Amino acid sequence: MAGLTGHPVLEIGDKFEELQNNIINNNKNKEVIDKAGLVLKGEENSNNNNNNQGGERDMAPPTSNSLHRSGSRPQLDLSKAAIQGNSEERDPTILLPNQSDDISHFALDIGGSLIKLVYFSRHEGQSIDDKRKRTVKEISNGSRRSYPILGGRLHFVKFETSKLNECLDFISSKQLHNGRIDSHYWNSESPNKENAVIKATGGGAYKFADLFKERLGVSIDKEDEMDCLVAGANFLLKAIRHEAFTHMEGHKEFVQIDHNDLFPYLLVNVGSGVSMIKVDGDGKFQRVSGTNVGGGTYWGLGRLLTKCNSFDELLELSQRGDNRTIDMLVGDIYGGMDYSKIGLSASTIASSFGKAISDKKELEDHRPEDISLSLLRMISYNIGQISYLNALRFGLKRIFFGGFFIRGHAYTMDTISFAVHFWSQGQAQAMFLRHEGFLGALGAFMSYEKLGLDDLMVHQLVERFPMGAPYTGGKIHGPPLGNLNEKISWMEKFVLKGTEITAPVPMAPPGTTGLGGFEVPSSKGGTLRSDASALNVGVLHLVPTLEVFPLLANPKMYEPNTIDLSDHCELEYWFTVLSEHLPDLVDKAVASEGGTDDAKRRGDAFARAFSAHLARLMEEPAAYGKLGLANLLELREECLREFQFLDAYRSIKQRENEVSLAVLPDLLMELDRMDEEARLLTLIEGVLAANIFDWGSRACVDLYHKGTIIDIYRMSRNKMQRPWRVDDFDLFRERMLGSEGKKPRPHKRALLFVDNSGADVVLGMLPLARELLRRGTEVVLVANSLPALNDVTAMELPDIVAEAAKHCDILRRAAEAGGLLVDAMTNTLDGSKENCSSVPLMVVENGCGSPCIDLRQVSSELASAAKHADLIILEGMGRALHTNFNARFKCEALKLAMVKNQRLAEKLIKGEIYDCVCRYEPAS
């Protein structure tokens, strides 16, 4: 090959002088797909879910190896929906057989102190200009039809029982009692409010039934309190991965419960009083004990003794208390000595409030803080001891504590844990539940007939932690926002062959925090946050279309996160990286919405909300469950979506895709002139080199700001010198090309997990996919369901493939065979076309919207595609390094990435930034 020996792309710029004006002008009206019939499959059904086009034409069933892509984000079809009546109608009625039509979609646990509310809401925020309906395909009796997917969330809210009117106002404001999720899709008639019935448990369900009828016009269907507690606990323990945890001496550790080993256990519900329930299975339980000394005792005595106005205020007082001024300790009796013979230390409480007998002080002489702590320890120790004695009585090793007395308070949990550990001599363990206060309300919610929640598995529930902060009003900080169109993309710079143009560096004005002027909320480590219970419990997204990736070698042992964030230094480093990246991300997000005043306000709100999440997690890393880097990055994306930034890098992705596609044909010609061995190496080098262009990497953003794109690319190519930091290319080459004249069998199907838009996918992964297709391997491109940074999505990828197919017969035939081009779909519909001889190229969504991927939760579409795959290629830092670097699969796997993070280089591969990783692993 003439010219530079590193990579043919570096020669392409000389041949595209005539393209410069077209690319730089960036004609926004340019059609991505021409009028020769290269239209995306399903385009004719383009519509939003509020104006659904029902009744898609029947199509021939696919063969066992075929795979039809769906443009949908996997969401909940909670009730096994089906079209009622004629499926050819424009707006057919959707029947939800597993959802009763005359019920409201919330349930209550009305206790003596608190009201706990669980309610269901539909997914919101689906873009009205989606190019395709959000549909799910059902194969039935040889035909296929579409119907809307009803996604939903479970929300958790609490009110003080003394403020019942606030709860009623909340229900009324959200119209929960009317059951109005979307009556058009539930049945043809609106719900009858007069006959509305809601489920409730707890004493208040009886006490306040008339008030609910008077204020809301609904009747209360009273559910048994114990039934609800057990049903709620069983559901959470089986369905939520990080629900149960231990808490000893301030250390929180999550416990993964084996569903086959869950029963029997002791459930201790600490509400106003305490109930102890032996649970033997679903619906199998018995209340074995209890005590009248519980949360109500603590709150009642505390209010009398300290004059506190709320339970949280009383707990907060305890954190500043010293119980030694009131409690009589073993050391007080034995002159400061331990009573070692019976294993009692000098600090053990011999008598709660015992010193008050001899101190001759009046109540006002004691600090409220000390009283609160002494009272808390007295009640917590008592509950812990009685619980263990009942567990001992029935031979139970596992004790779960729930109820709003605990409410995530570290000292309370430590005290109960100490008591269980002390009395059991370490043989029993106290465990706590993150949704501790909502067991009864959740059980009541599940009691609605045929709701189907009990069938959900751990991989089907995704927990999110929104802030719910308003975004209107407020002062906008930071410098004026520049026009994003002024920033020239890297490929434009490449075509311009090194013209000295650099992207502007976003600068924060003097005196700002470095977060674009957004102050990070301060947090006091020793103070109970008033919002702790709201932040610790997220919204449960119910997604039955998620499945465990079937090619994992050992799903039970699989851990996606490569980086361990339990190390405080590690956690602090990544929080700093995310904080430093925040101003640039806000700029991109605001620009993606046109830079309007509303977008700026939402950008300000997003920065504040995400900063608050980071501050909360720095204070308590396990507040939201076991924290991994994948969770942290997903949290950022969810926060963007919460404030209606659906695709912050939309314009950047479009521009970089266009300029990358413009130079793709010459790259393919260069590759075709090579022999097999040289071509395979160049393809792998191309994937690694193109992976450097990643807007999610701080190092990459710095490169954008400091140098021209051609400089960056040349630097990347210079790093191609083998051996790479992780270099299994020779093993992969032998598998692909064979050795000693023996040709290996081609792979049957390859799953290519793609990463970034632009050069990464167009000039890196597509040519590699083309090579596999040329060898007779079916190729499935796996992309995000939702946008994340500049990652390509499954909705965008068919457009890219269709444009690339204009210039390549291999890609065109494969795209037709895979159903990505409309002419193939049309011919399949009318049955006039025989099976295409080319192997198919297909696109599926992965079920997530993050730079990383947790293979315990992937779309059913991807899980189906994986059944026939014998090669996995994971590309990019997020999917191949931050997560899944240590994952093992039943089939062959190739992991490719350019390292663009110093911490990752230090910790993972003991290398340097811009080192290359090419890791090939045979089937496990």
Q: Is 871 helix (H, G, I), strand (E, B) or coil?
A: strand
Confidence of residue 449 (pLDDT cuts 50, 70, 90): low
**Least trusted range by pLDDT, from 196-200, 480-484, 692-696, 715-719:** 480-484
Which one of 456-460, 757-761, 908-912 scores highest in mean pLDDT? 757-761
| 61 cis-preceded (ω within 30 degrees of 0) | no
pLDDT the model gives residue 179: 60
Does the pLDDT value for residue 474 go beyond 60?
no
With vertex at residue 634, the alpha carbon angle to CA 632 and CA 638, rounded to the nearest 5 degrees, is: 120
Does the pLDDT value for residue 538 go beyond 50?
yes
CA–CA separation, 726 and 895 (whole Å): 10
CA–CA separation, 578 and 52 (whole Å): 39
**Least trusted range by pLDDT, from 243-252, 301-310, 339-348, 879-888:** 339-348
Q: Structure pTM?
A: 0.76
- Pairing state of beta strands 219-222 and 328-329? unpaired
Confidence of residue 808 (pLDDT cuts 50, 70, 90): very high
If we measure between CA atoms, which residue out of 125, 144, 148 comes closest to residue 54? 148
Element (H, E) at 165: helix 164-173
pLDDT the model gives residue 330: 86
CA–CA separation, 77 and 324 (whole Å): 56
The predicted-structure confidence for 236-279, as pLDDT tens digits, reads as follows 998 888 899 999 988 899 998 888 889 999 999 998 899 999 99
pLDDT the model gives residue 334: 84
Token readout for 338 is: 């331990």
pLDDT the model gives residue 840: 95
CA dihedral 740, 742, 744, 745 (to 10 degrees): 180
**Least trusted range by pLDDT, from 40-54, 135-149, 813-827:** 135-149
Q: Would you tell me the crossing angle of helices 809-817 and 797-805 to the nearest 10 degrees?
A: 130
pLDDT the model gives residue 529: 36
**Least trusted range by pLDDT, from 356-365, 388-397, 875-884:** 356-365
Backbone angles phi, psi at 405, to 5 degrees: -65, -35
Tally the residues of the chain.
924
CA–CA separation, 356 and 601 (whole Å): 56
CA–CA separation, 153 and 78 (whole Å): 10
Confidence of residue 824 (pLDDT cuts 50, 70, 90): very low
CA–CA separation, 537 and 155 (whole Å): 9
CATH architecture of 93-127+146-240+436-456: 2-Layer Sandwich (3.30)
Does the pLDDT value for residue 143 go beyond 70?
no
Confidence of residue 705 (pLDDT cuts 50, 70, 90): low
Does the pLDDT value for residue 233 go beyond 60?
yes
Which one of 698-712, 733-747, 833-847 scores highest in mean pLDDT? 733-747
pLDDT greater at residue 814 or residue 139: 814
pLDDT the model gives residue 524: 28
The predicted-structure confidence for 55-88, as pLDDT tens digits, reads as follows 333 333 333 344 433 332 222 233 343 433 443 4
Give CATH for domain 664-921: 3.40.50.10880
Domain parsing of the chain, residue ranges = 93-127+146-240+436-456, 664-921
Across 883-894, average pLDDT: 97
Q: Do the Cβ atoms of 82 and 94 come closer than 8 Å?
A: yes
Does the pLDDT value for residue 8 go beyond 90?
no
With vertex at residue 386, the alpha carbon angle to CA 226 and CA 370, rounded to the nearest 5 degrees, is: 105
Confidence of residue 455 (pLDDT cuts 50, 70, 90): low
User: Using CB atoms within 10 A of its CB, is residue 584 exposed (0-12), middle (13-18) or buried (19+)?
Assistant: middle
If we measure between CA atoms, which residue out of 282, 354, 290, 298 comes closest to residue 325? 354
Strand residue runs (E) in 316-466: 328-329, 349-351, 398-402, 429-433, 461-464
Torsion region of 68: left, alpha or beta (phi above 0 gives left; psi -120 to 50 gives alpha): beta
Q: Do the Cβ atoms of 219 and 197 come closer than 8 Å?
A: yes
Q: Do the Cβ atoms of 286 and 278 come closer than 8 Å?
A: yes
Q: Do the Cβ atoms of 97 and 79 come closer than 8 Å?
A: yes
CA–CA separation, 300 and 573 (whole Å): 45
Confidence of residue 801 (pLDDT cuts 50, 70, 90): very high
Contacts of 758 (CB under 8 A, 6+ apart): 489, 490, 491, 653, 656, 657, 659, 660, 693, 790
* Residue 339 DSSP label: B
Q: What are the distances in angstroms from CA 150 to CA 158, 184, 336?
A: 26, 12, 66
Q: Mean of the per-residue pLDDT values for the chain?
A: 75
Does the pLDDT value for residue 831 go beyond 80?
no
pLDDT the model gives residue 194: 55
Does the pLDDT value for residue 774 go beyond 80?
yes
Q: Do the Cβ atoms of 243 and 400 come closer than 8 Å?
A: no
pLDDT the model gives residue 454: 60
Element (H, E) at 158: strand 152-160
Across 410-430, average pLDDT: 90
CA–CA separation, 793 and 226 (whole Å): 46
Token readout for 650 is: 């939309």
pLDDT the model gives residue 659: 78
Does the pLDDT value for residue 626 go beyond 90?
no
With vertex at residue 757, the alpha carbon angle to CA 751 and CA 758, rounded to the nearest 5 degrees, is: 120
Cα 853 to its chain centre, rounded Å, is 9
